[in-house]
């Protein structure tokens, strides 16, 4: 349940250490001696009923989910208040005192953790701790007290402790996921669903806003139709189909009257027990206002889009299509400009408040709508956090990542893991003199379902080169040798070769970089050696990226940080907190060549100093052992400028060597300001 509007600023307070009563994540006293084997281990690779998937490879999608989970878990999964409890901290959003839990966040955690079992070896222990905290803090109806203090875990909100429908929905769904994943939670799940049905479902079947709330109101952000369908399959003692039917009716009745084109639903709805549900008054329960889309209803395209993907529901699909188009139009195709406060006619109520989750939540709706380009844009946006959002945005992002990656499965079996595989090369690069050949091992693995035959092919070969696989096809789990033979006239340069495996389930690709040097024995063939020098496309390959906060530097450009050319940039720091970001690429500089590194650099800062250098940016050359050989570029917040400036460094001293070029931005946050270092259009020219 969202009770407070979020601050309207670009950079939210850093992920600071708080005074949580936190214990080590390995010390859960009441955990079972050995966790059960996961029945649906991550990654699940679900085949949805309809829609499109992001164009990024399955392997890269899985990796993105893992990275987000690692960050989310490190920042928000807290071991406390009791030794056998875990909770999801509201750090960064102020939804509870001392960054304590709310039932909404506890439900998010109880969905996320079972879905990550198989990747997270401690998932069942963590789930048990999350569930224990819920059981230790039930209200008068046996549902979770919606808001707890982070130190004592005591209910602190005013009045008699009550429960919030969204959190209680997710907690019930999490129990079913856990029962299907590990077994042993059936009695808990059935008892929870019984209490929920008795107190959160109105007599006509619509969802109430809270367990002690009136039978006249509802909140569209609770319209988790995929959860309700799972409840109906799992618990046949209650008429969950009535709840599904009435929820769909409220959606249709409301949108036909108030948002026929956009399919938007307001934060709160009154008269839900009639055939004429309507927007709540502006300040009915909160102050966002409540009669338009706000921080509650931004979740609707995520929930309805997910239901359409998993079940193909006609109501969810129709609304998801409208909302996807509506919000794409509002933003001009820029996810950052999907505003948390949007009027029902698809225009922004306010552009002064922005939040990552407003754009993140649209991804499942775009997938269901079949809009490939918009889906890809939203997928790429997930890798960013442009406004420094905390618990709320990062938790929604985690769940949306699972849906968009295809790793979100329905516990009632409406969707099932499909046959799928991965493909990789080792080594991932090779160097030859023109006329010679290089080899690499192409490995495949079964990632879900059963093994299948995989045919191998290579594209992107340089002129005069040929590729041969031995064998030409393998059964998933097997490997082949790829030999790339160059001709005497093959031009010198660095070439990204795409290796593709194709099976009945589809195709997956990986890359192999071949560097060719001249065979003349003298002179140097002019070439530009860097691959993807402008960071374009959906993949950063072959650039490697690191970030202490989990934000990949290579990202789509924005109006605030435009590209020098193209649509992507490498953006370091700018998070108003201590952070180190880097990108790197390994290249071989041919012997006998002069080498010049160039790149375009833009620096902007809010640091108010003319002498101190709390924020720095370095360009370094490393050898194959990772030792820094030189730092040909060094900048700081003092080098801020109004646009891009081209920088040049002579790297001729490294001709004949394989080196790694590394760009690193470091922000200390010691002065209270923040600095953005942005580069674009790199080049390593030899001649």
Q: Is residue 325 part of a domain?
A: yes
DSSP string covering 98-118, please? GG--BHHHHHHHHHHHHHTBT
Instruction: Reply yes or no on whether 149 is catalytic.
Output: no
Both 229 and 318 in a single domain?
Answer: yes
Does the structure show a pLDDT above 60 at 32?
no
Mean pLDDT score, 219-238:
96
Q: What's the CATH code of the domain at 506?
A: 2.60.40.10
d(CA 78, CA 76): 6
The band of 21, judged by pLDDT with boundaries at 50, 70 and 90, is very low
Q: Is residue 20 part of a domain?
A: no
Q: Is residue 33 part of a domain?
A: no
Mean pLDDT score, 239-267:
97
Q: Is residue 18 part of a domain?
A: no
Both 245 and 343 in a single domain?
Answer: yes
- Of 104, 253, 371, 579, which is the active-site residue? 104
The pLDDT assigned to 420 comes to 74
User: What average pLDDT does the structure give for the chain?
Assistant: 89
The band of 14, judged by pLDDT with boundaries at 50, 70 and 90, is very low
Instruction: Reply yes or no on whether 166 is catalytic.
Output: yes
Both 431 and 563 in a single domain?
Answer: no
Q: What's the CATH code of the domain at 321?
A: 1.50.10.10
Which has the closest alpha carbon to 290: 272, 267, 269, 271?
Answer: 267
Does the structure show a pLDDT above 50 at 1?
no
320, 312 contact by CB (below 8 A): no
- The two beta strands, 429-433 and 506-517, are parallel
Both 277 and 375 in a single domain?
Answer: yes
What is the separation of C-alpha 263 from the centre of its chain, rounded to a whole number of angstroms?
25
Both 501 and 574 in a single domain?
Answer: no
**Boundary-marking domain end, from 177, 200, 223:** 200
Both 322 and 257 in a single domain?
Answer: yes
Does the structure show a pLDDT above 60 at 12?
no
Which residue range(s) make up the domain with 557?
Answer: 527-686
The band of 18, judged by pLDDT with boundaries at 50, 70 and 90, is very low
Q: What percent of the chain has pLDDT over 90?
A: 72
Both 360 and 507 in a single domain?
Answer: no
Does the structure show a pLDDT above 80 at 365?
yes
pLDDT digits (tens, 9 = 90+) for 313-349: 899 999 999 999 999 999 999 999 999 999 999 999 9
The band of 669, judged by pLDDT with boundaries at 50, 70 and 90, is confident
pLDDT digits (tens, 9 = 90+) for 606-638: 988 888 899 999 999 999 889 899 999 999 999
Q: Is residue 10 part of a domain?
A: no
Both 639 and 665 in a single domain?
Answer: yes
pTM of the model: 0.62
Quote the tokens at residue 120. Answer: 């997270």
- Of 166, 170, 210, 667, which is the active-site residue? 166
Both 277 and 402 in a single domain?
Answer: yes
Mean pLDDT score, 71-100:
94
The band of 445, judged by pLDDT with boundaries at 50, 70 and 90, is confident
Both 122 and 147 in a single domain?
Answer: yes
Q: Is residue 40 part of a domain?
A: no
Burial 71-99 (b: 16+ CB within 10 A, else e): bbbebbbbbbbbebbbbbbbbbbbbbbbb
**Boundary-marking domain end, from 467, 486, 517:** 517
Q: Is residue 492 part of a domain?
A: yes
The pLDDT assigned to 538 comes to 65
The band of 537, judged by pLDDT with boundaries at 50, 70 and 90, is confident
H-helix segments, 201-313: 225-234, 240-258, 300-311
Q: What's the CATH code of the domain at 611?
A: 2.60.120.260
**Boundary-marking domain end, from 153, 184, 200:** 200
What is the separation of C-alpha 232 from the centre of its chain, rounded to a whole number of angstroms?
29
Q: Is residue 78 part of a domain?
A: yes
The band of 522, judged by pLDDT with boundaries at 50, 70 and 90, is low
Both 213 and 194 in a single domain?
Answer: no
Does the structure show a pLDDT above 70 at 13?
no
What is the separation of C-alpha 397 from the centre of its chain, rounded to a whole number of angstroms?
5
Does the structure show a pLDDT above 50 at 29?
no
Both 357 and 226 in a single domain?
Answer: yes
Number of domains in the chain: 4
């Amino acid at each position: 349940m969202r009770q407070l509007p979020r601050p309207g600023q670009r950079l939210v307070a850093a992920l600071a250490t708080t005074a949580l009563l936190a214990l080590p994540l390995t010390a859960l006293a009441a955990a079972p001696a050995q966790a059960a084997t996961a029945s649906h281990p991550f990654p699940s690779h679900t085949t949805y009923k309809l829609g499109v998937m992001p164009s990024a490879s399955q392997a890269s999608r899985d990796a993105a989910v893992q990275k987000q989970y690692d960050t989310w878990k490190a920042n928000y999964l807290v071991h406390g208040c009791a030794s056998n409890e875990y909770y999801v901290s509201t750090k960064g959003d102020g939804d509870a005192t001392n960054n304590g839990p709310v039932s909404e966040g506890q439900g998010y955690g109880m969905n996320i953790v079972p879905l990550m079992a198989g990747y997270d070896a401690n998932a069942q222990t963590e789930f048990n701790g999350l569930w224990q905290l819920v059981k230790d803090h039930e209200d008068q109806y046996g549902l979770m007290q919606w808001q707890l203090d982070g130190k004592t875990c005591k209910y602190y909100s005013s009045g008699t402790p009550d429960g919030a429908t969204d959190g209680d929905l997710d907690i019930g769904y999490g129990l079913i996921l856990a029962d299907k994943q590990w077994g042993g939670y059936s009695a808990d799940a059935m008892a929870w669903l019984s209490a929920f049905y008795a107190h959160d479902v109105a007599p006509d079947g619509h969802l109430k806003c809270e367990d002690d709330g009136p039978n006249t109101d509802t909140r569209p952000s609770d319209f988790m139709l995929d959860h309700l369908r799972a409840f109906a399959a799992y618990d046949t003692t209650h008429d969950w189909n009535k709840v599904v039917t009435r929820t769909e009716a409220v959606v249709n009745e409301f949108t036909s009257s108030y948002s026929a084109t956009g399919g938007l639903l307001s934060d709160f709805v009154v008269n839900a027990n009639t055939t004429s549900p309507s927007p709540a008054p502006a300040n009915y329960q909160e102050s966002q206002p409540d009669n338009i889309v706000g921080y509650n209803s931004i979740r609707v395209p995520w929930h309805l889009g997910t239901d359409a993907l998993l079940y193909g529901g006609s109501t969810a699909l129709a609304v998801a299509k409208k909302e996807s188009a509506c919000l794409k139009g509002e933003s001009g195709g820029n996810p950052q400009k999907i505003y948390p406060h949007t009027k029902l006619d698809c225009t922004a109520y306010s552009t002064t408040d922005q939040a990552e989750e407003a754009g993140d939540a649209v991804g499942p709706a775009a997938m269901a709508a079949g809009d490939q380009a918009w889906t890809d844009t939203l997928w790429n946006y997930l890798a960013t956090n442009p406004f420094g959002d905390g618990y709320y945005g990062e938790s929604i992002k985690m769940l949306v990542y699972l849906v968009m990656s295809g790793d979100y499965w329905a516990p009632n079996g409406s969707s099932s893991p499909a046959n799928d595989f991965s493909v990789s090369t080792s080594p991932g690069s090779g160097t030859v003199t023109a006329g010679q050949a290089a080899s690499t091992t192409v490995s495949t693995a079964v990632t879900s379902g059963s093994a299948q035959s995989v045919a191998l092919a290579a594209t992107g070969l340089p002129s005069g080169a040929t590729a041969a696989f031995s064998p030409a096809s393998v059964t998933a789990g097997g490997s082949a040798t790829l030999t790339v033979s160059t001709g005497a006239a093959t031009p010198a340069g660095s070439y990204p070769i795409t290796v593709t495996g194709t099976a009945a389930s589809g195709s997956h690709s990986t890359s192999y970089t071949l560097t060719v040097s001249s065979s003349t024995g003298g002179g140097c063939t002019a070439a530009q050696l860097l691959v993807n020098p402008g960071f374009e496309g959906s993949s950063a390959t072959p650039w490697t990226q690191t970030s202490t906060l989990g934000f990949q530097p290579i990202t789509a450009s924005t109006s605030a940080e435009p590209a020098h050319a193209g649509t992507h940039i490498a953006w370091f720091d700018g998070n108003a907190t201590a952070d180190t970001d880097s990108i790197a690429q390994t290249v071989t500089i041919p012997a006998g060549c002069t080498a010049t590194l160039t790149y375009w650099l833009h620096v902007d800062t809010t640091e108010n100093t003319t002498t101190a250098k709390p924020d720095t940016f370095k360009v370094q050359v490393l050898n194959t052992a990772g030792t820094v050989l030189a730092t040909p570029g060094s900048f700081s917040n003092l080098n801020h400028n109004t646009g891009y400036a081209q920088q040049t460094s002579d790297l001729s001293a490294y001709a004949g060597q394989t080196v790694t070029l590394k760009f690193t931005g470091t922000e200390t946050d010691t002065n209270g300001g923040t600095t953005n270092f942005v580069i674009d259009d790199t080049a390593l020219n030899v001649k």
